[in-house]
Amino acid sequence: MNFIDEAFLEVRAGNGGAGASSFRREKYIPFGGPDGGDGGKGGDIIFQVNKNKNTLIDFQNKKVFIAKNGRPGSGKNKSGAAAEDLVIDVPKGTVIYDDLSNEQLLDCCDDDVSYTVAVGGDGGQGNARFKSSTNQAPRKFTLGFEGEIRSIRLELKSLADVGLVGFPNAGKSTFLNKVSSAKPKIGSYPFTTLRPHLGTIRGNDSSFVIADIPGLIEGASEGAGLGIKFLQHISRTGLLLIFVDLFSTEENNHIQQIKLLKKELSLYKEDLTQKVSWIVCNKIDLINDEEIEGISNNIQNQLSISKKDIFFISAATGAGTERLLKSLEEVIVRSKEDLNLDS
């Protein structure tokens, strides 16, 4: 299945139905008064979260959505029927922007909430509304109001607790494959991961979601590679895991990896560098304990990163992953508890 995380749409709410101009006509009542009913309201355009959707692919071919118009009023003071709203399903985490002003209109995060994007027009008034002491037989009525028309942009931002960031082949997908039920494609060539993957981790007392995005490369903030296109999917995460590939022949390569990754994150969006981030040094199965100790000291001394925020793992064998997952669960549970207290 193709992964589509952006869509451009035009949505047109329904117009209100026209009011009626009518007079009461019954046997033996030759001069009945006005009895034109009001028009019905036009349908709204409403977005709602569908938990079974995880991409915006449904909007790849269909770009225009039009709600029905309200029905016109009629005689005997009968109001026209209001049109049904047009309900559009989107994945959880979809953000809706006005495409002209770039203003954020809605953030579709809740399952049980309806999000109205375009409001249908009110129905017009029938001539019965215009009867007065000075005008007993008005012919005046009004047409329905036009519904809202909007050009919008949908942007899908995955809802995950933890985001994985690293260069291609750093082992992010192998890690996610090892610790969750997610099955991202794994290979020894760049950009094996071509779309974000979400994996649910079930801990001792809770569960949390990890998002893996395509690997970043130097110059990603300027459009190089694939990863920058998907950085929006980790913009909601509370914690970032910066994956470092230890299996490198270049001296202090791990230091350069961390610096470059943080630089690209900062250039893309300053907020990303303000998030809590841990360093995950992968592929310890390919080096010895003495080398691991030296790398840990280098990171602490050269980058002023606390030892508690540095983890050494082997995504291939699973070594060190249990400690990492336990630490993640503790931080995420504590964060959610603090959030509940604040609310």
pLDDT confidence tier of residue 56, bands split at 50, 70 and 90: confident
Q: Read off the pLDDT of residues 3-14 as tens digits, 9 standing for 90 and up.
A: 557 899 999 999
- CATH placement of domain 162-342: 3.40.50.300
**3-class DSSP assignment, residue 44:** coil
Distances (CA, A) of 71 to 68, 102, 123, 149: 9, 34, 8, 19
Using alpha carbons, select from 340, 326, 343 the residue that is nearest to residue 205: 326
**CA trace torsion 72, 76, 78, 80 (10° rounding):** -10
**pLDDT tens, position by position, 197-218:** 778 787 777 778 888 877 665 5
pLDDT digit string, tens, across residues 268-315: 777 777 788 999 999 999 989 999 999 999 999 999 999 999 999 999
> Where are the CATH 3.40.50.300 domain residues in the chain?
162-342
What secondary structure letter does DSSP report for 34? Answer: B
- The CB-side HSE value for 232 (13 A sphere, CA atoms) comes to 13
pLDDT of the residue at 2: 45
What is the pTM for the complete model shown? 0.66
Local structure of 3: helix, strand or coil: coil
Q: Where are the CATH 2.70.210.12 domain residues in the chain?
A: 1-156
The CATH number that domain 1-156 falls under is 2.70.210.12
Please give the average per-residue pLDDT across 132-139, as a whole number. 92
pLDDT single digits (tens) 315-329: 999 999 999 999 999
